């Protein structure tokens, strides 16, 4: 599971005074367990597209489905990680990771098992009782990824998650994300304006352009033999 199907997607931002066509005729299918990156300049509509897949914004036309079901609002089947560190500051690292599980009514014992596993995956076992403000930017994003994955989402939606990090931390995070993706087998839709990042992360890359936001082309990156 984890197939995303986008057909004829349109988005127009309208107010009394203005009308802005942000996306026109977006057609895109993302397969099960695929890691797809959308790259394009700032303002071409990447975040708008991702927000609609997340269910945080409504399309003006077209259809958006996950595993054949029309997307209506946010849901636990879609985990999200954004650039701003969106951790709950009043919760510890472990409590942040367990947050969604607690909402779902998962037992303490089961929650512990799952958070232990993800603390290990993101290599922050010894920070389980720390609060977000005690962590570096890279560490916070690792927790955000663990929190999103703890719910076992069918798809992971990422909007420039490493945009605020320095080059070295960014590379470590990208490597960790690929490692987690290979282990967890989840569909990833990643957006960035950074083509190097897109090429490093994905074998399939979709290029968007502005005026109105649309898909310009798509290409595949070959892995070296062996």
Number of residues that bind ligand ADP (CB under 6 A): 11
Residue 216's SS3 state is: strand
Strands of the sheet with 61-66, listed across from one edge: 19-30, 4-14, 61-66, 69-70
Q: Which is nearer to ligand ADP, 124 or 198 (CB)?
A: 198
Which residue of 4, 22, 52, 81 would you call a contact of ligand ADP, by CB under 6 A? Answer: 22
| Least spacing, CB of residue 52 vs ligand ADP, in Å | 10
The residue with its CB nearest to ligand ADP is 47
| Least spacing, CB of residue 159 vs ligand ADP, in Å | 7
- Token duo for residue 210: 């502005």
Residue 45's SS3 state is: coil
| Least spacing, CB of residue 113 vs ligand ADP, in Å | 35
- Say which residue the tokens 């979709």 belong to: 206
Q: Which is nearer to ligand ADP, 93 or 201 (CB)?
A: 201
| Least spacing, CB of residue 40 vs ligand ADP, in Å | 6
User: CA nearest 218: which of 208, 205, 203, 201?
Assistant: 205
- Helix (H) or strand (E) segment spanning residue 116: helix 108-121
Report long-range pairs for 216-220 (Cβ below 8 Å, ≥24 apart).
216/40
- Say which residue the tokens 């010894």 belong to: 126
Residue 147's SS3 state is: helix
Q: Dihedrals φ, ψ of 100, to 5°? A: -65, -35
| 115 touching ligand ADP, by CB under 6 A | no
Q: Which is nearer to ligand ADP, 35 or 82 (CB)?
A: 82
- Helix (H) or strand (E) segment spanning residue 178: helix 167-184
Q: Which is nearer to ligand ADP, 45 or 161 (CB)?
A: 45
| Least spacing, CB of residue 54 vs ligand ADP, in Å | 12
Site string for ligand ADP, 25-64 (x = CB under 6 A): ---------------x-xxxxxxx----------------
Contact status, residue 83 vs residue 164, Cβ threshold 8 Å:
yes
Q: What residue ranges bind ligand ADP (CB under 6 A)?
A: 13, 20, 22, 40, 42-48
């Amino acid at each position: 599971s984890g197939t995303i199907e986008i057909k004829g997607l349109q988005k127009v931002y309208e107010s009394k005074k203005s009308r802005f066509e942000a996306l026109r005729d977006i057609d895109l299918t993302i397969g099960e367990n695929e890691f797809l990156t959308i790259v394009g300049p700032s303002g071409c509509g990447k975040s708008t597209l991702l927000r609609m897949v997340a269910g945080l914004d409504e399309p003006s036309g077209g259809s958006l489905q996950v595993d054949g079901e029309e997307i209506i609002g946010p849901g636990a089947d879609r985990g999200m990680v954004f650039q701003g560190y969106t951790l709950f500051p009043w919760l510890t690292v472990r409590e942040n990771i367990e947050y969604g599980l607690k909402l779902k009514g998962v037992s303490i014992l089961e929650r512990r098992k799952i958070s232990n596993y993800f603390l290990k995956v993101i290599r922050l076992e010894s920070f389980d009782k720390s609060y977000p403000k005690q962590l570096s930017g890279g560490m916070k994003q690792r927790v955000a990824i663990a929190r999103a994955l703890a719910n076992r989402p069918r798809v992971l939606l990422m909007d420039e998650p490493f945009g605020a990090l320095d080059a070295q931390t960014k590379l470590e995070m990208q490597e960790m994300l690929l490692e987690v993706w290979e282990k967890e087998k989840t569909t990833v839709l990643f957006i960035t304006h950074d083509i190097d990042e897109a090429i490093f992360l994905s074998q399939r890359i979709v290029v968007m352009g502005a005026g109105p936001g649309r898909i310009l082309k798509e290409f595949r990156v070959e892995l070296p033999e062996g």
